[in-house]
């Protein structure tokens, strides 16, 4: 592609020297290591390092032109063009290079602290059941043209994102838009048809510092709405209510969900598995296909989005009844002893609150909550999460989550401190996550609930004692061990002639 096309809509588009206009660019990169002959390299000042320091390497790898945001202190052997903001330029350049691939798709962007992933799968399910093809971009995976790809970021870099859009032959793109993605301009160059806001809760303040900054960053998503684009907002969340008011002042059509009568989708009543709401004049009652108070909001967000796509209500209700849930999100297992075990991705106070409340609403006899905290991540939310758990659970176990660069001893010390300062007598520390789960399962009974939160679908980064790689695997492993033990004991009894066949409980059942 000719450079003049690659640089369309960038400030220097009109005053490019003639000899540069027709320069053939065969690839673009913001990482010097990915540069090859006739590439355009964009130097980005990052969080860990500065792409401007790799300009010479990019040139050595074959770059034909460099874009950067800093004045050059030396003369480069190839042209250097300066922009105000390199990260923004990456989005615009990638959009041009891939021929604006979002233009012929319906784009749905979902932001918020919790619920983005669940809502995105719900919307995909509803749209696909109505015959549309969907690309999904998010935390768990990217699904493009029906094929599943590993996801490295919730919201990929602008360059990767535009490439994905160019590869997608699907009609609709449903993507999670993280606050990191917004602050780093990863969706620059995209216009959304629908933008959704699920909620805002204490998270990522290591990055955004204050809740207000965090909110302002989330608000940026709505700058990317198309002229006639629509917003869907959960106004039961106080930040959502604030957002809805701001958007209305901007004359953006807002479809809000919440308990107040002013909402388009007014929630009349709900519990952990049923919801009653009014959609204009229709009163709708629904049994939820996924448990959890929080999921009632996710379902309603997805329902609203599907109606805006023109799908009729009965088709939506029928599809919803077939939804099978999301990997690692309030996933339920029935222990052989009758206890209920939940694996969930909750890693904020609000999410923990919703999970524990749901267990209570299901009349759990005794609730054990197993959780930890990620190393190198927002430490200020830890005491809030522990406080909620120590109030709502009957017993909690603090354990390891990903340590990242933190040492085991530093995290153990941190857990001890938290337990001393904000915990209570309900708590204990078992640092090995697999042993914590095993202990809780071995010490549970019928009607008890065990909630294991924080890791959800993710694999362990630490090595633990049991030979498992995720919470779900650990739960299944302990159940199997339990079953084998039971089976061996029963075998022994059978050989002594004291055991009846019908005494066996078959697992999995
Ligand atoms: C901390 C953070 O947000 N980092 C993101 C950021 O990278 P960075 O600024 O750290 O990059 P850097 O390493 O400083 O490098 C700066 C520049 O030098 C270039 N470089 C570097 C080395 C070299 O040899 N040559 C070279 O050219 C790099 O390609 C880059 O362009 O910009 C990259 C491109 O957009 C992101 O992929 C990267 O996400 C990292 C992998 C990450 O883990 N981010 C997390 C915090 C994140 O974004 N999470 C959210 C979800 C949060 C949530 O809700 O849970 C997400 O959307 O994934
Ligand atoms: N609407 C909601 N309100 C509060 N908590 C929620 C809501 N939806 C989900 N959660 C909680 O948040 C956890 C993460 O949910 P989900 O993955 O759908 O959100 P997310 O926004 O994609 O999260 P992340 O950005 O961390 O990937 C769930 O496991 C659940 O505990």
Domain membership of residue 477 (yes or no) is yes
Tell me the sheet residues that pair with 453: 344
Q: In this structure, what token pair is assigned to residue 234? A: 């959960």
* 300/346 same-domain check: no
Domain at 15, CATH number: 3.40.1390.10
Residue with tokens 């066949």: 501
- ipTM score of the complex? 0.96
Contact residues of ligand 2, CB 6 A cut-off: 112, 114-118, 139, 154, 176, 198-199, 294, 297-298, 329, 344-346, 350-351, 354-355, 456
User: What whole-number distance in Å separates Cα of residue 32 and Cα of residue 52?
Assistant: 10
The dihedral formed by the CA atoms of 398, 404, 409 and 413, expressed in degrees to the nearest 10: -50
Last residue of a domain, one of 46, 79, 97: 97
With CA atoms as reference, report the closest residue to 293 among 276, 277, 274, 309.
274
Each of the 509 residues of the chain gets a pLDDT tens digit; together they read 999 999 998 877 667 788 888 899 999 999 999 999 999 999 999 989 999 999 999 999 999 999 999 998 778 789 999 999 999 999 999 999 999 999 999 999 999 999 999 999 999 999 999 999 999 999 999 999 999 999 999 999 999 999 999 999 999 999 999 999 999 999 999 999 999 999 998 776 777 778 889 899 999 999 999 999 999 999 999 999 999 999 999 999 999 999 999 999 999 988 777 899 999 888 999 888 998 888 999 999 999 999 999 999 999 999 999 999 999 999 999 998 999 999 999 999 999 999 999 999 888 999 999 999 999 877 888 999 999 999 999 999 999 999 999 999 999 999 999 999 999 999 999 999 999 999 999 999 999 999 999 999 999 999 999 999 999 999 999 999 988 887 676 665 555 544 443 333 333 32
Question: What is the C-alpha separation between 49 and 189, in angstroms, rounded?
Answer: 25
Closest ligand (CA of 153): 1
Whether 162 maps to a domain, the answer reads yes
The residue written with tokens 């204490």 in the block is 202
Residue 326, in any domain of the structure: no
Comparing C-alpha atoms, which of 284, 227, 226, 277 is closest to residue 256?
Answer: 277
Distance 203 CA to ligand 1 centre (A): 18
**Does residue 272 share a domain with residue 365?**
no
In the block, tokens 């604030």 appear at 242
Query: Is 360 a domain residue?
Result: yes
Which tokens belong to 343? 């694996």
CATH number at residue 402: 3.90.190.20
- Assess contact for 141 and 117: CB atoms under 8 A: no
Residue 394 lies in a domain: yes
Please state the residue numbers annotated as binding site: 32, 112-118, 153-155, 178, 184, 186
User: For residue 507, with 0-12 CB atoms within 10 Å meaning exposed, 13-18 middle and 19 or more buried, which class applies?
Assistant: middle
The residue to mutate among 180, 351, 371, having the most atoms of ligand 2 within 8 angstroms of its beta carbon, is: 351
Same domain as 337, residue 285: no
Q: Looking at the structure, tell me whether residues 92 and 107 fall in a common domain.
A: no
In this prediction, residue 337 carries a pLDDT of 92
Q: What is the Cα–Cα distance from 221 to 241, expressed in whole angstroms?
A: 16
- CB of 224 closer than 8 Å to CB of 187: yes
Number of the ligand closest to the Cα of 151: 1
| Cα–Cα distance measured from residue 143 to residue 231, given in angstroms and rounded to the nearest whole number | 24
pLDDT in the model for residue 509: 28
Note the pLDDT of residue 508: 32
Same domain, 42 and 190: no
Pair 478, 432 in one domain: yes
51 within ligand 1 shell (Cβ under 6 A): yes
Instruction: Please check whether residue 325 lies inside any domain of the structure.
Output: no
Bond into 160 cis (ω within 30)? no
The phi-psi region of residue 486 (left if phi > 0; otherwise alpha if psi is between -120 and 50; otherwise beta) is alpha
Give the number of domains in the chain.
3
Among the candidates 320, 355, 380, a domain finishes at 320
Which uninterrupted H or E stretch holds 240? helix 238-249
Q: What pLDDT, on the 0 to 100 scale, is given for residue 75?
A: 80
Is residue 166 located within the same domain as residue 272?
Answer: yes
Q: Are residues 257 and 356 in the same domain?
A: no
Instruction: Give the integer Cα–Cα distance in Å for 61 and 501.
Output: 71
Whose CA is closest to 98, among 190, 15, 220, 227? 190
Beta strands per DSSP E along 291-386: 331-334, 340-344, 367-371
Q: How many residues does the chain have?
A: 509
| Residue after which a domain boundary falls, among 72, 97, 122 | 97
Between CA 64 and CA 54 the distance in angstroms is: 14
Domain annotation covers residue 415: yes
The CATH number linked to 197 is: 3.40.1190.10
Nearest CA to ligand 2 atom 15: 115
Does ligand 1 lie within 6 Å of residue 44's CB atom?
A: yes
Phi, psi of 341 (to 5 degrees): -120, 135
The reply to whether 263 and 135 lie within a common domain is yes
155 occurs within a structural domain: yes
**85 in the same domain as 153:** no
Q: How many CB atoms lie within 10 A of CB 47?
A: 9
Q: Which DSSP string corresponds to 478-504?
A: HHHHHHHHHHHHHHHHHHTT---GGG-
Q: Percent helix, strand, coil in the chain (nearest 5)?
A: 40, 20, 40
Range of the domain at 76: 3-97
Best probe residue, ligand 2, of 115, 221, 381 (max atoms within 8 Å of C-beta)? 115
Q: H-helix or E-strand containing 276?
A: strand 274-279
Do 74 and 187 sit in the same domain of this protein?
no
Cα pseudo-dihedral 17, 18, 23, 29, rounded to 10: 20
Tell me: do 223 and 74 sit in the same domain.
Answer: no
């Amino acid at each position: 592609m000719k450079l003049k096309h690659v640089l369309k809509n960038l400030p220097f588009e009109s005053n490019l020297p003639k000899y540069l206009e027709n320069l053939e660019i065969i690839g673009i990169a913001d990482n010097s290591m990915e540069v090859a002959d006739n590439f355009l390299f964009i130097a980005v000042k990052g969080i860990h390092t500065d792409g401007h320091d790799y300009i010479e390497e990019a040139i050595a790898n074959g770059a034909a032109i460099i874009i950067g945001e800093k004045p050059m202190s030396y003369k480069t052997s190839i042209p250097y063009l300066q922009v105000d903001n390199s990260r923004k330029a990456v989005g615009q350049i990638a959009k041009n290079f891939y021929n604006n691939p979002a233009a012929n798709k319906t784009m749905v962007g979902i932001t918020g602290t919790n619920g983005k992933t669940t809502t995105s799968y719900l919307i995909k399910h509803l749209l696909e059941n109505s015959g549309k093809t969907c690309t999904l971009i998010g935390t768990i995976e990217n699904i493009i043209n029906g094929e599943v790809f590993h996801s490295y970021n919730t919201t990929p870099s602008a360059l990767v994102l535009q490439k994905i859009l160019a590869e997608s032959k699907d009609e609709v793109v449903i993507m999670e838009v993280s606050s990191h993605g917004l602050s780093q301009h990863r969706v620059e160059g995209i216009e959304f048809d629908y933008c959704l806001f699920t909620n805002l809760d204490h998270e990522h303040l290591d990055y955004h510092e204050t809740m207000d900054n965090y909110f302002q960053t989330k608000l940026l998503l709505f700058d990317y709405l198309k002229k006639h684009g629509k917003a869907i907002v959960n106004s039961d969340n106080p930040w959502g209510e604030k957002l809805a008011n701001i958007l209305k002042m901007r004359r953006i059509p807002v479809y809000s969900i919440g308990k107040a009568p002013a909402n388009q989708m007014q929630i009349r009543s709900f519990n952990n598995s049923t919801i009653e709401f009014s959609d204009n004049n229709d009163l709708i009652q629904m049994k939820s296909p996924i448990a959890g108070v929080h999921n009632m909001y996710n379902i309603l967000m997805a329902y609203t989005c599907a109606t805006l796509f023109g799908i009729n209500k009965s088709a939506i209700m029928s599809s919803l009844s077939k939804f099978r849930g999301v990997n690692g999100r309030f996933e339920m297992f029935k222990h052989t002893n009758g206890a209920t075990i939940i694996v969930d991705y909750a890693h904020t106070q609000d999410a923990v609150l919703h999970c524990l409340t749901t267990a209570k609403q299901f009349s759990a006899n005794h609730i054990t909550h197993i959780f930890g905290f990620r190393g190198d991540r927002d430490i200020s939310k830890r005491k809030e999460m522990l406080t909620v758990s120590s109030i709502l659970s009957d017993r909690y176990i603090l354990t390891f989550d990903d340590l990242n660069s933190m040492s085991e001893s530093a995290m153990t010390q941190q857990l001890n401190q938290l337990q001393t300062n904000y915990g209570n007598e309900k708590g204990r520390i078992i640092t090995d996550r697999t042993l914590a789960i095993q202990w809780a399962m071995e010490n549970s009974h019928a009607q008890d609930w065990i909630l294991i939160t924080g890791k959800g679908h993710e694999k362990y980064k630490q090595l633990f004692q049991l030979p498992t790689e995720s919470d779900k695997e650990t739960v299944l492993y302990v159940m199997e061990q339990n079953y084998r033990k039971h089976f061996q004991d029963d075998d022994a009894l059978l050989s002594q002639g004291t055991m009846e066949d019908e005494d066996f409980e078959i697992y999995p059942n």
